[in-house]
Amino acid sequence: MEISVLKNSGEDTGRKISLSDAIFSIEPNDHAIYLDVKQYLANQRQGTHKSKERAEIAGSTRKIKKQKGTGTARAGSIKSPIFRGGGRVFGPKPRDYSFKLNKKLKVLARKSAIAYKVKDNKLTVLEDFSLDLPKTKEYVKLLSGLSLSTKKTLFIISDLNDNVLLSSRNIKNAKVTTADNINTYDLMYADTVLVSESAVEKIENILK
């Protein structure tokens, strides 16, 4: 399939770029997307949560009252979970939430996410450009020209460009990444995906 290449101002360049049907026009696999997004979110979790159980509470071990004759339930330790300041029953412990996914499934998930954007006309190809200095207003001008100022955008460039990256960093809901660092979560989270012309070939080489 072919798609028009736009200028940074939002105008049509009059050129079209060919997109590989094997990547940009596949039948999306929803379950692959679900698993890849689930893994991404799981990997963001630190897993450092911890609460103390009764064996870890600092306190006296003496029997706090006599066994019988009090009219209330028997109690043997102030560190019991039923008392204020006692240990917690089955509390959270540090753990690793990450899990493994096959590489082929992750590739399928990214291709599916891209295919959804193409199907919904939410993928735009821009001609290559660079910024001489990191200026936020230049990136805001770019988004305004494309009528995307209020949208969540993901801009995929072929290689790391510090000026473009720094220019977008302070803009809410605007993210810039390179073709070899795209992930399914970012693709699905964005309302519109912008791809530089040179990044298209790189994406095809990575996901082929």
The span from the first CA to the last CA of the chain, in angstroms, equals: 16
Task: Look up the CATH number of domain 2-46+99-207.
Answer: 3.40.1370.10
* Residue for token pair 């997307």: 33
Q: Helix (H, G, I), strand (E, B), or coil: what is residue 192?
A: strand
Residue 95 in this model has a pLDDT that exceeds 90 = yes
Give percent above pLDDT 70 in the chain: 100
Residue 5 in this model has a pLDDT that exceeds 90 = no
Residue 133 in this model has a pLDDT that exceeds 90 = no
The whole-angstrom separation of Cα 148 and Cα 175 is: 13
What average pLDDT score do residues 98-113 get? 95
The whole-angstrom separation of Cα 141 and Cα 154 is: 16
The whole-angstrom separation of Cα 166 and Cα 175 is: 10
Kindly tell me the sign of the dihedral angle through the C-alpha atoms of 71, 73, 75, 78. negative
What ranges do the domains of the chain cover? 2-46+99-207, 51-91
Q: How many CA atoms lie within 13 A of 15 on its CB side?
A: 11
Phi, psi of 105 (to 5 degrees): -70, -40
**What's the pLDDT at 8?**
82
pTM: 0.83
**What's the pLDDT at 110?**
95
